[in-house]
Amino acid sequence: MKLLLVFSSLLFTLQLCSGEWCYESQLSCKANCSGPSDWKSLFSDCGGQRQSPINIITSKVIQNPNLTAFVFEGYEDVFNMSVENHGQSAHFSLPESARVRGGGLPGKYKAVQFHLHWGVDGGVGSEHSVDGERYPMELHVVNIKENYNDLKDALNDSTGVAALAFFFELSSSKNQKLDAIIEALKKVKQKGDSSEIENFRLVDFIPRACNLSYYRYSGSLTTPGCNQAVEWTVFHQTLPISKNQLQSMDKLLLFGTDKPMTGIFRPVQNLNGRTVYTYLPAHSLCVLPNAITLLLCLFCLVEQYSSFQ
Ligand SMILES: *[C@@H]1O[C@H](CO)[C@@H](O)[C@H](O)[C@H]1NC(C)=O
Ligand SMILES: *[C@@H]1O[C@H](CO)[C@@H](O)[C@H](O)[C@H]1NC(C)=O
Ligand SMILES: *[C@@H]1O[C@H](CO)[C@@H](O)[C@H](O)[C@H]1NC(C)=O
Ligand SMILES: *[C@@H]1O[C@H](CO)[C@@H](O)[C@H](O)[C@H]1NC(C)=O
Ligand SMILES: *[C@@H]1O[C@H](CO)[C@@H](O)[C@H](O)[C@H]1NC(C)=O
Ligand SMILES: [Zn+2]
């Protein structure tokens, strides 16, 4: 009987000690949370077979002729963007008018939000890695198939979510496009805080789609529930960030626990036999693709017309 009591109180303590999910960086002797290796005990999908992030091994990547260039729509529109500290990251809300198509995706997807993953004091903080190499920071733009109302609906579809990832790479000069982002983060220090960036345009932050090469694989959300509903695109092109900017990022926010929000990334997961594909543009498609198409069409018409003569 006594033994049973001891046993059940031990179980009870274990339960208490894994109250919520947290990042590796939040674990400590008295931490009351489950780190990445224990997420699967709280959310079974986190132990699944197509988890993210992954390490991309470039020598095993396969060029897939079904993949095409991306088209970003509404990325030139001006909007007021709200930002909120969600306790494990800050989300920048995007309007539905921002859409992505092409890119070998099964349909058109509308934007939901973007967020960043960073490390500790300017160290590596990306989630994905390439040939074992990690980057200082990673941007995720989360999109859902346009027929769904919200992320929750999209997560019930194995290709319901299209996540776009860009790595940041250290540059000698600062990236002025990040100024507005950094200023906004300063205003959402505590979990639940929100603020707004006025007159934001995605095109000022994200490169043009036309000549972007990328990696593609099927995976999951990188935070619990780890739903296996994500078509991942990891772009080859990186975005610049200066050492000063990077070192300021991880000091701006607090976790829900009032500790500095650092090391917000999940370690890489097993591939489990998945293939990573790549798309490499044959030509730079940046020179007014519509004008070229128009010219080609005219040419075809003229050809056809003259063959009738
Ligand atoms: C641990 O977390 C759980 C759930 O969040 C909470 O109910 C419990 O009070 C916490 N325990 C301690 C010792 O902080
Ligand atoms: C390309 O698409 C075709 C038709 O859907 C499919 O049969 C083929 O396996 C795809 N190729 C690759 C490399 O995925
Ligand atoms: C953004 O907010 C400002 C100030 O509240 C407002 O004047 C402006 O019209 C808003 N812009 C858009 C595109 O909604
Ligand atoms: C999830 O999708 C299945 C079919 O794939 C459907 O039967 C079910 O109702 C959906 N669940 C929700 C919550 O939308
Ligand atoms: C794409 O084109 C832009 C200019 O239009 C150039 O700055 C950039 O380096 C190109 N990216 C790649 C991956 O070729
Ligand atoms: Zn993310």
pLDDT digits (tens, 9 = 90+) for 77-130: 999 999 999 999 999 999 999 999 999 999 999 999 999 999 999 999 999 999
The pTM (predicted TM-score) of the whole model is 0.86
CA 40 to ligand 2 center in whole angstroms: 33
Which residues surround ligand 1 with Cβ inside 6 Å? 16, 19-20, 32
Burial of 58 (0-12, 13-18, 19+ CB in 10 A): exposed
Domains delineated in the chain = 1-42 (no CATH), 43-283 (3.10.200.10)
Q: Is 284 a residue whose pLDDT tops 80?
A: no
Buried-exposed string 232-247: b where 16+ CB fall within 10 A, e elsewhere: bbbbeebbbbeeebbe
Which residues hold their Cβ within 5 A of ligand 6, which is an ion? 140
List, in sequence order, every residue forming a beta bridge with 232; answer none if it has no partner. 163, 217
Q: Is 286 a residue whose pLDDT tops 90?
A: no
Ligand nearest to the CA of 79: 3
Q: Are 231 and 158 in contact (CB under 8 A)?
A: no
pLDDT at 30: 76
Q: Is 28 in the pocket of ligand 3 (CB under 6 A)?
A: no
CA 91 to ligand 6 center in whole angstroms: 10
Q: Which of 107, 104, 108, 109 is nearest to 94 (CA)?
A: 109
